[in-house]
Each structure stands twice: as structure tokens, then as C-alpha cells.
Amino acid sequence: MRRFEDSLYELIVETSTNLPGDVRRAIAEGRSREDRASRSGLALATIAQNIGMAEMEVSPICQDTGMPTFIIHTPVGVNQLAIKRDIEAAVRKATKEGKLRPNSVDSLTGANSGDNLGGGTPVVHFEQWEEDQIDVRLILKGGGCENKNIQYSLPAELEGLGKAGRDLDGIRKCILHAVYQAQGQGCSAGFIGVGIGGDRASGYELAKKQLFRKTGDTNPVPELAELEDYVLEHANELGIGTMGFGGEVTLLGCKIGVMNRLPASFFVSVAYNCWAFRRQGLLLDAGTGEIREWLYERGTGISVEEEGAATEAAAEAAPEAVPDAPPSREVRLTTPISEEDIRSLRVGDVVILSGEMHTGRDALHKHLIDHDSPVDLGGGVIYHCGPVMLNDEAGWHVKAAGPTTSIREEPYQADIIRKFGIRAVIGKGGMGAKTLQALGEHGAVYLNAIGGAAQYYAECIKNVNGADFMEFGIPEAMWHLQVEGFAAIVTMDSHGGSLHADVEKNSAEKLAAFREPVFK
């Protein structure tokens, strides 16, 4: 199998940088149902532009290239140990060349391996079959959407929906609740795979395997086909919208599988996937490793983007989820930012930032609670981002730089705002009551960038001014970035306004409308 490693490398690059055709069509169809002048319309326009940029640059669609997970079917007699060695070599090469972000972290020490290899990474599942070729499928599922996976044990009492029993209607309630609880933190509009039955481990595995189905297929089980259609229609009535901004499009796909279970257990497992639905597959010659066929339509030539610049509608974004808010406006700010400028901002304003900003994720926030910052953060901006970086003779370059989910920093953020005088925090998915209070007390705002738009934001970064805490690993280091024209939306302001709280409250009220039984 002389070509196996090369074929696997090609699969990784394609999966990371080029969304398959069925996913692109689902996103395009979602765009057609959204008001282009709304915040969700702006988000979808940016997403469409980002998809095209990633394909053109052959760079990661999203900076979080996730946990590489392979499902491989091999003929009897094929050396699976050799295949695994070739997978590891391909993963190492893809990481070195910036097609994957180094994401493998020691769970006890926090040390990043730097090459995406380590205990349990990448994930490789082997199965034998009686075909004469090798089927290899790969999914790159980022941490933001992985964290919104959820598992239910029936019967259960569900918020807003009441009792969910051990029947099809109980399963329906679980799935709707799973979409509700994800809000914008999983980079909606998203896709879900659902596993009914099994044990806790196999249920989640079944759910994730559903994500390998094509978006337009029909479930062979009539009851599940009906349930898939029901969920796809009615989950969009929750009004969560793209990025949790409110809107018409919350879910783009739903696939459900079932397996037997123990009498005492009834699990419903939901694997949530963001709009950056990166999965691809190959059929390989079992003797040479040569590519015979791509298993999902390659996205080349299928455009999600309409004519014109995707960001032209930014200043016209309408505050549909905050009926009493003033019209949105575009505000240009340069760091360091004054408290007066921050106090003038309201939820819905589009902020265009220039100047220096500083990345900070979990490791940095934990560190800053008890230590000084290596740079002056007064009037500054913290960007919740773990970029993909490459280093050459000219220095460091940003290959992908979208936002990470902010809620993980909720235990730290308010104290860090107070301690260092930060004026703006950028991330995705919003933050909680403690941070909102600190924004008001100290004159700061939360800016929601578009999750997954890693190429769009990388284009705004003009220089890497430096880095600290490289011992934390590239994603967790504190990068000092010079930006121009970095656009994000105020979703939490210094006056107590929170778009995230408003959308969640609104969607909770709509969720309650699905309390009564539908499937008898």
C-alpha cells in the first residue's frame, strides 16, 4: 500500500478546507430562508464568504480542526496496524503544514503534543467487510459543537417540555431540547446525529455515525424518516437562528439511528455539529492505497455566496430579537478603547476594530487570575481564539483565526475585566450573568464574532506582533495581533443588554409549545 499515507493526507486536507456539496447546498437553502438584513443574515453571508476563501486558499474552514475521527472498513487480511501508522504520519504532516491545528493535549499535565498525536488521538475505528477495497471516512468535529453533545436517559423531565417517556414522542422531546440547549454556542445553524438505544458509549458512537449520512438521504425506517422531517421543520420554529442571533434558520439537518438496548436503560444520544460540517471519505485500492473514488461530492464549483461583498449588509443588521432596541449602526474603534466609546455602544451595533488585540483561551484566563499580564491590557481587547499558526523565516503567520466558545471563560472573565481594565471581549455564543454585571460596572462590551469564519477573520490580521506563554501550546498561547477592519456584533453591552439572554428566553417560550404529544 505504497500510496496509502499520501491518500490519507489528501483526505485530511480536503476535509479541513473544502465543505462537501451536500453541506453547501443545505447552507445555501438555509440562507434563502433568512432575512438578509438581519444579524443572522449577516452571519450566513460571512459564513458563505468564508467557505469560498477556505477553498481558494486551501486553508482550514475553521481554526478548530477538532478531533480527527476515522471510520475504516478493510478487507480481511489487510494490515490494520500499518494503516494506523500511515494515518498518524498523515496527521503529523497535515499539522506541520497548517491544515490541522495542534489539538492533542495531555489531560493531566495540559501539555500540547504539537502534532495531534497522543493517547487516544487521532480516533480510529476499524471494521472488516467482505469487499475488496478500503472505505475510509473522516470527520473533523470541533470542540465547540462537541461540547454541546447531550445524552438523555428516559424517562426524564425536560425543561419546558415536561415528561419524556420511553417512546417515539419522548425521543422527539429529547431532540428538540438538544437543539434548544445548544443555542448559539455550537455555531448554529447546525446538524445533528441522534442515536437511540445502546449503552452510554455505543449510543454516542451511533449518534456520531449518523453524521456520515448524506444530508439528502431518506431514513429506511419509516418512523424515523417521519421524525427526522418533523425535527428539521419544527426545530427552526425555536427562533434561535445562526450564531444564536435569533432568526428563521437554526437546524440544517437531522439524522437518526437506532439499536437495541438493555431493558433497564433507554438512552437518547445527540451529536451536535456546527455549520462547518467537515466530513469526507474515500474508497481506496486495497493493494496500492490509490484513491478510487471520493465518497461525498467535493464542493468545488458549488457556491454558497451570492454576488457582492458578504459584509455589505453589516450596517443594516436589524435587531429582530430585541424589539425595543434602537436601529443598528456601524462604529469604528481603534485600540486602546476609551470607556466613553464603550458606553456609547448598544446591543446590535456592528463594531469594526483596528489596532492590537490579544488572544486568550482557557489556560491564559486561569493564569491571569493569579499573575500579571505580560502586556498592558488597559483599554484593550481579549479575543477568545486559538489560531492556526505557521512559522517560517519571515516569522509567524496566521492561517485561521475564528472565535472559540466564550462560556468556558465565565468563571474567570469578570475578574479579569476588573483586574486589567479590558474594554472588549470577543468570542462566540455569549457569556453569563457574572460577566454581564462586570461589563456594566467597568465599562466593557462583549462582541460576538462569527463562529467558524476562520479565513474571514485571518484576512483581517495584518501582523503578528508577538506571543507569550508558548509553553501553553499554540492554541492556548497569548498572541498579540495587529488587525484592521475586524467586524463583530455587540451582543452584551455595558447597560445590561444581552442578546443571548433575550434569544434564550424567547426560544424557551417557543419550546414549551411542543409539550403536547405528537407521535402516539
Alpha carbon distance 176, 182 (integer Å)? 10
Alpha carbon distance 47, 311 (integer Å)? 10
Whole-number average pLDDT of the chain = 94
Q: How many CB atoms lie within 10 A of CB 238?
A: 23
CB distance 461 to 398 below 8 Å: yes
* Greatest extent of the chain over all pairs of C-alpha atoms, in Å: 71
Identify the pLDDT of residue 303: 85
CB distance 273 to 207 below 8 Å: no
Reported in sequence order, the residue ranges of 61-106 that DSSP labels E, i.e. its strands, are 67-75
CB distance 492 to 436 below 8 Å: yes
Q: Which long-range contacts (CB under 8 A, 24 or more apart) does 516-520 make?
A: 517/169, 518/169, 518/172, 518/230, 519/167, 519/168, 519/169, 519/172, 519/223, 519/226, 519/227, 520/169
Q: For the residues of 415-444, what is the DSSP string, one character each?
A: HHHHHHT--EEEEBS---HHHHHHHHHHT-
Identify the pLDDT of residue 210: 98
CB distance 155 to 166 below 8 Å: yes
Region of residue 58 (left: phi > 0; alpha: psi -120 to 50; beta: else): left
Report the candidate in 193, 146, 98 with the shortest Cα–Cα distance to residue 454: 98
Instruction: For the full predicted model, state whether its pTM sits above 0.85.
Output: yes
pLDDT in tens, the chain (520 residues): 679 999 999 999 999 999 999 999 999 999 999 998 899 999 999 999 999 999 999 999 999 999 999 999 999 999 999 999 999 999 999 999 999 999 999 999 999 999 999 999 999 999 999 999 999 999 999 999 999 999 999 999 999 999 999 999 999 999 999 999 999 999 999 999 999 999 999 999 999 999 999 999 999 999 999 999 999 999 999 999 999 999 999 999 999 999 999 999 999 999 999 999 999 999 999 999 999 999 999 988 788 875 333 334 443 443 444 444 455 789 999 999 999 999 999 999 999 999 999 999 999 999 999 999 999 999 999 999 999 999 998 899 999 999 999 999 999 999 999 999 999 999 999 999 999 999 999 999 999 999 999 999 999 999 999 999 999 999 999 999 999 999 999 999 999 999 999 999 999 999 999 999 999 7
Q: How far is CA 429 from CA 34, 69, 148, 238, 500, in A?
A: 19, 25, 12, 16, 7
Q: Which CATH class is domain 319-504?
A: alpha beta
User: How does DSSP classify residue 161?
Assistant: T
Identify the pLDDT of residue 302: 86
Q: How many CB atoms lie within 10 A of CB 179?
A: 27
Helix (H) or strand (E) holding 447: strand 445-448
Identify the pLDDT of residue 307: 36
Alpha carbon 177 to its chain's center? 19
Sign of the Cα torsion 442, 448, 452, 458 reads negative
CB distance 35 to 45 below 8 Å: no
Identify the pLDDT of residue 318: 39
Q: How far is CA 272 from CA 46, 183, 192, 255, in A?
A: 21, 11, 5, 11
Alpha carbon distance 9, 35 (integer Å)? 39
- Domain extents for the chain? 1-141+282-315, 143-273, 319-504
Alpha carbon distance 328, 274 (integer Å)? 27
